[in-house]
């Protein structure tokens, strides 16, 4: 008798468990093994989400996704950034700092959100767990591809300050 193929279901269950643990604010030590590949990519149009291009060939990479309520000014989710200094996983803090549907960046109109986050796992020895920072996500519209994601960290984690901008950045920022 032939057994059903379970491998795709097991992989999906493991990805869901990983996302659940990360979203709940999993804490880890600075030397814990981690990778942005542990954060599942969300396809389609999530309430908010981004990825900055392919893992291979880039000096740094980031992705993230979560939920947002513009009327209540709240946001949640998870982000990850991977570069030569290490990998950091960030939990998005609850309060949405800023949002606009009439923003202009790079000379193009679009949607923008500004969020705060806390590092929950890090392999960058200069950027410890608990460090707080902020990020600006811009999604251009009207058929223009000029999206961007920018991370801002305090002095200890300055090596993790990155700006991702260009045609490989795919940013879904909801309108008002």
pLDDT band at 145 (very low <50, low <70, confident <90, very high): confident
In this structure, what token pair is assigned to residue 6?
């379970």
pTM across the whole model: 0.76
| pLDDT digit string, tens, across residues 51-96 | 998 766 678 899 999 999 988 999 999 999 999 899 999 999 999 9
Burial of 56 (0-12, 13-18, 19+ CB in 10 A): exposed
Return the pLDDT at 28: 35
76 with 67: CB under 8 angstroms? Answer: yes
Smallest CA-to-CA distance from 169 within 35, 43, 44, 62 is with: 62
Element spanning 104, H or E: strand 86-105
Please give the mean pLDDT across all residues of the chain: 80
Query: Residue 37, Cβ neighbours under 10 Å: how many?
Result: 14
* Whether the predicted pLDDT of 31 surpasses 70: no
Cβ neighbours of residue 19 under 8 Å, at least 6 residues apart? Answer: 39, 40, 78
């Amino acid at each position: 008798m032939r057994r059903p193929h379970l491998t795709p279901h097991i992989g999906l269950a493991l990805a869901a468990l990983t996302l659940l643990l990360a979203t709940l604010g999993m804490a880890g030590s600075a030397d814990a093994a981690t990778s942005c590949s542990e954060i599942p990519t969300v396809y389609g149009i999530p309430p908010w989400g981004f990825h900055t291009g392919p893992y291979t060939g880039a000096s740094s990479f980031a992705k993230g996704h979560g939920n947002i309520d513009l009327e209540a000014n709240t946001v949640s989710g998870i982000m990850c950034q991977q570069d030569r200094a290490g990998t950091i996983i960030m939990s998005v803090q609850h309060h949405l700092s800023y949002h606009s549907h009439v923003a202009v960046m790079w000379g193009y109109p679009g949607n923008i959100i500004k969020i705060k986050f806390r590092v929950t796992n890090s392999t960058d020895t200069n950027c410890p767990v608990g460090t707080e920072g902020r990020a600006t996500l811009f999604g251009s519209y009207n058929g223009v591809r000029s999206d961007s994601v920018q991370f801002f960290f305090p002095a200890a984690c300055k090596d993790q300050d990155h700006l991702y901008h260009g045609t490989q950045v795919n940013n879904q920022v909801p309108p008002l």
